[in-house]
């Protein structure tokens, strides 16, 4: 038995090193290739620009999907295969399926290597709105690449993703988008969770930090809604100026406050750092409130071990509520289920009104 346990520990240690190496490679490649794609390609020769665009597409689709699949298997090896990994297995399965659809199958079928831009509903990005107007810089840039048919298919794909996210959220709460489908930050926080942060120890956000993140949450939602309103009014024909400037500002916001900050959090804080103020996350969180999303804490007797609090990546205090059997309905809960899997007495459960109805009918 001792030899078996030692062998398992060695395998887990090897998996941790491999997972950490993959995440470092992913971050470094992203910074280099994204820098070239967004910062240099406009000044490059047509041949070099075409190569950089192809490289960015290959990285975002094939490399990213390979890392998601490989990282998921490594994470499962690290966390073990007990019956209390049910929620996390579902998370990883969802991200693998979503990556295969958005990054592999979709681009092949639609001949569009940048289909992932259309896999995040409003208000996270306004690219679909920009693509609906022939005068925007985005439309003029991609018309020669996609063609009219390609643009129409990309917008149709966006509409389908939006419907899937909306319907799924109304049934399953924020968990559906943030812990099953999100290919911006959600996937990384689950696939690479055992090795985050890459530097230092994992930190819980204190009360002051939570207040700061709460302010950022509403600030970024306001910014996102502002960009959305601008492009809706622009499409309606209102004489709004500086559309190119607005598009550039939104791109810079994405690169600095979202892409770079998300990766910064992975390195020094937590995989879910960006989830504290993601505008789409806030919207589906509010929808989750409407559909009764909560963590129930009365499935059995709580022994106040504190494992739920330690496992929660969003610094939610479940232990206090579990002591009295009160449900936890917190806006920032991403529904990852780490707390549910970690509970030794299985007193926690993720729930929505639909899931309760489905459960009662069994």
Task: Extract the runs of DSSP E, i.e. beta strands, from the chain.
Answer: 294-296, 349-351
Alpha-carbon distance of 5 to 108, in angstroms, equals 44
User: Measured between alpha carbons, how far is 152 from 128 in angstroms, rounded to an integer?
Assistant: 10
pLDDT at 10: 56
CA distance 91 to 219: 28
CA distances to 104, 198, 300, 359 from 189, rounded to whole Å, are: 21, 12, 29, 28
pLDDT surpassing 80 at residue 72: yes
CA distances from 153 to 73, 104, 128, 247 (A): 33, 16, 11, 22
Q: What is the CA radius of gyration of the chain?
A: 21
Percentage of the chain lying above the pLDDT 70 cut: 95
Residue 11's pLDDT band, with cuts at 50, 70 and 90, is low
Of residues 43 and 24, more confidence is placed in 24
Let me know the angle formed at the C-alpha of 288 by 284 and 293, rounded to the nearest 5 degrees: 150
Between 8-17, 37-46, 161-170, 308-317, the lowest mean confidence (pLDDT) is in: 8-17
CB distance 162 to 121 below 8 Å: yes
Structure token digits, residue 12: 């887990």
What integer best gives the mean pLDDT of the chain? 91
Burial of 289 (0-12, 13-18, 19+ CB in 10 A): middle
Does residue 161 carry a pLDDT above 70? yes
Using the predicted structure, report yes or no on whether residue 155 has a pLDDT greater than 50.
Answer: yes
290 token code pair? 């409407």
CB atoms within 10 A of CB 104: 16
| CA 338/CA 336 separation, integer angstroms | 6
Domain formed by 292-361, architecture:
2-Layer Sandwich (3.30)
Rounded to an integer, the average pLDDT of 23-34 is: 95
User: What pLDDT digit, counting tens, does each position of 76-119 carry?
Assistant: 999 886 568 999 999 999 999 999 999 999 999 998 888 898 99
Q: According to the 3-state scheme, what is the secondary structure of 138-206?
A: HHHHHHHHHHHHHHHHHHHHHHHHHHHHHHHHHHHCCHHHHHHHCCCCHHHHHHCHHHCCCCCCCCCCC
Domain boundaries along the sequence of the chain: 2-287, 292-361
| Residue 362: predicted pLDDT | 56
Tens of pLDDT, residues 246-258: 988 998 999 899 9
Pairing between β-strand 349-351 and β-strand 294-296 as defined by DSSP bridges: antiparallel
CA 5 to chain CA centroid, nearest Å: 34
Percent of residues in the chain assigned helix, strand, coil, to nearest 5:
70, 0, 25
Structure tokens at 199: 């530097």
In DSSP terms, 328 is beta-bridged to 295
pLDDT one-digit tens code per residue, 215-231:
999 999 999 999 999 99
DSSP 328: B
Q: What φ, ψ does residue 169 adopt, rounded to 5°?
A: -70, -40
3-state secondary structure of 39: helix
């Amino acid at each position: 038995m001792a030899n078996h346990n030692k062998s398992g520990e060695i395998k887990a240690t090897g998996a941790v090193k491999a997972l950490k190496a993959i995440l470092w490679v992913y971050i470094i490649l992203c910074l280099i290739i994204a820098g070239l794609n967004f910062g240099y390609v406009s000044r490059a020769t047509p041949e070099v620009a075409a190569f950089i665009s192809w490289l960015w597409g290959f990285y975002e689709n094939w490399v990213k999907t390979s890392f998601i699949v490989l990282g998921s298997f490594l994470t499962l090896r690290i966390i073990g295969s007990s019956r209390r990994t049910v929620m996390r297995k579902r998370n990883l399965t969802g991200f693998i399926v979503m990556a295969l659809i958005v990054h592999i199958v979709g681009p092949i079928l639609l001949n569009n290597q940048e289909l992932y831009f259309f896999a995040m509903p409003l208000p996270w990005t306004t690219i679909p709105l920009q693509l609906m107007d022939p005068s925007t810089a985005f439309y003029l840039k991609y018309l020669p690449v996609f063609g009219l048919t390609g643009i129409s298919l990309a917008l149709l794909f966006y509409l389908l993703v939006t419907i899937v996210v909306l319907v799924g959220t109304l049934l399953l709460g924020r968990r559906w988008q943030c812990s099953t489908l999100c290919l911006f930050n959600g996937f990384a926080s689950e696939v690479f969770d055992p090795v985050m942060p890459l530097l230092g120890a994992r930190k819980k956000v204190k009360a002051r930090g939570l207040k700061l993140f709460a302010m950022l949450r509403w600030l970024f939602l306001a910014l996102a809604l502002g960009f959305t309103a601008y492009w809706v009014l622009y499409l309606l024909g209102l004489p709004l100026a500086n559309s190119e400037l607005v598009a550039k500002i939104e791109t810079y916001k994405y690169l600095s406050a979202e892409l770079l900050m998300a990766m910064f959090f992975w390195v020094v804080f937590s995989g879910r750092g960006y989830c504290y103020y993601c505008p789409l996350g806030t919207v589906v969180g509010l929808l989750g409130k409407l559909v009764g999303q909560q963590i129930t804490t009365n499935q059995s007797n709580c022994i106040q071990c504190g494992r739920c609090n330690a496992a929660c990546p969003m610094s939610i205090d479940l232990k206090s509520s579990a002591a009295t059997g009160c449900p936890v309905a917190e806006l920032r809960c991403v529904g990852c289920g780490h707390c549910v899997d970690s509970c030794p007495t299985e007193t926690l459960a993720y729930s929505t009104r639909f899931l309760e109805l489905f459960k009662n009918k069994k």
